[in-house]
Amino acid sequence: MTVCDYQPGLEGIPAAQSQISFVDGQAGLLAYRGIPIHDLAQHSSFLETAYLLIWGQLPTHEELEAFEHEITFHRRVKYRIRDMMKCFPESGHPMDALQASAAALGLFYSQRNLEDPAYIRAAVVRLLAKIPTMVAAFRHIRKGNDPVTPRDDLGYSANFLYMLNEQETDPFLSRIFDVCLILHAEHSMNASTFSARVTASTLTDPYAIVASAVGTLGGPLHGGANEEVVTMLEEIGSVENVAGFVEDRIARKAKFMGFGHRVYKVKDPRATILQKLVEDMMARYGSDRDYDIACELERVLAEKLGHKGIYPNVDFYSGLIYRRLGIPTDLFTPIFAIARVAGWLAHWKEQLEANRIYRPAQNYVGLHHQPFIPIEKRGLE
């Protein structure tokens, strides 16, 4: 059998043809369905963007209104799912709780019919509506409290922040959070999206697809990096400590969380937008010491490692925003998942349009023609 060229991590090897998003890593460009991310962040809402990603076009006023109404109507989750979450250990990571809860949805909506547009739309609505509710619910349940009931009079982002903090949020902050969801909604063939498409190719249900993608997103090399960024900034402690911190990490060949990207060789365009959001928040609510540390860290690393294409990615500034919104650090990645559900569902729907199950090859590098050794003789040589 011919040995094929092997690329660790499948780097540079196309795994699908897609019309969903475009990334130019050299120019620092990102577009959803051809619309630049900067335009969506400025003019769109998360649910409008989700509609664009999943159905391939911006909705009319009537279509968007109907979509928003459906999602509002389906925010609540079954009491048995809440009861299941009450059995989770308080020390468990919210991403594990979310993965289990997302998979459990499939038990309640298991009438799979992937050729029925009504089934597909219902699954899209349920997942977009219920994932935020489950994330917020686990925050309260792990403290021994009942979850906060969704409010039908609040928009998507405002309702999530209300369920999370049990108080209404300033509309200014709700809009910032909504933009964060737009920025995290989709990013071509990243690890969790690839996981989603592989799972989708087996023609399983969309709840299992989202659960598999959530599991992939949870790793520190993917969505989990935004948690590590805040920890890193707190470890540095002050602007004056940045230079020494950088020198030490470079000497130890340690990673700088929130920096570098497999695709972008310049600053991630999402990081640029997020940085502006942090500055908008500080202009209204006061300065943030960690933001000053972050800016100095970005400056020093540009001098030291910019020639290697090491610049801030989407995780670098998002944590500063989430912390100001009163979001616990270990919920940063579940919030990433709330947004990325839109992208995963878009890829699920696209995979169904011309499906073929994924079955990549491998290059076997092990031994051949080895004898079977009886158990009584093993370890005697």
Q: Which amino acid belongs to residue 66?
A: A
- Cα gap 223→93, rounded to integer Å: 14
- Cα gap 126→290, rounded to integer Å: 37
Please calculate the CA angle 76-80-86 and round it to the nearest 5 degrees. Answer: 95
Q: Kindly write down the DSSP assignment for every residue of 102-154, as one continuous string.
A: HHHHHHHS----TT-HHHHHHHHHHHHHHHHHHHHHHHHHTTT-PPPPP-TTS
Q: Which of 205, 261, 288, 290 is catalytic?
A: 261
Q: How far is CA 33 from the centre of its chain?
A: 19
Q: Which of 178, 268, 290, 315 is catalytic?
A: 315
- Cα gap 292→102, rounded to integer Å: 38
* CA atoms in the 13 A half-sphere facing the CB of 242: 20
Plot region of 53 (φ>0 → left; ψ -120 to 50 → alpha; else → beta):
alpha
Is residue 315 annotated as a catalytic residue, yes or no?
A: yes
Please give the structure tokens belonging to residue 209. 């697809």
Q: What residues are annotated to the active site? A: 261, 315
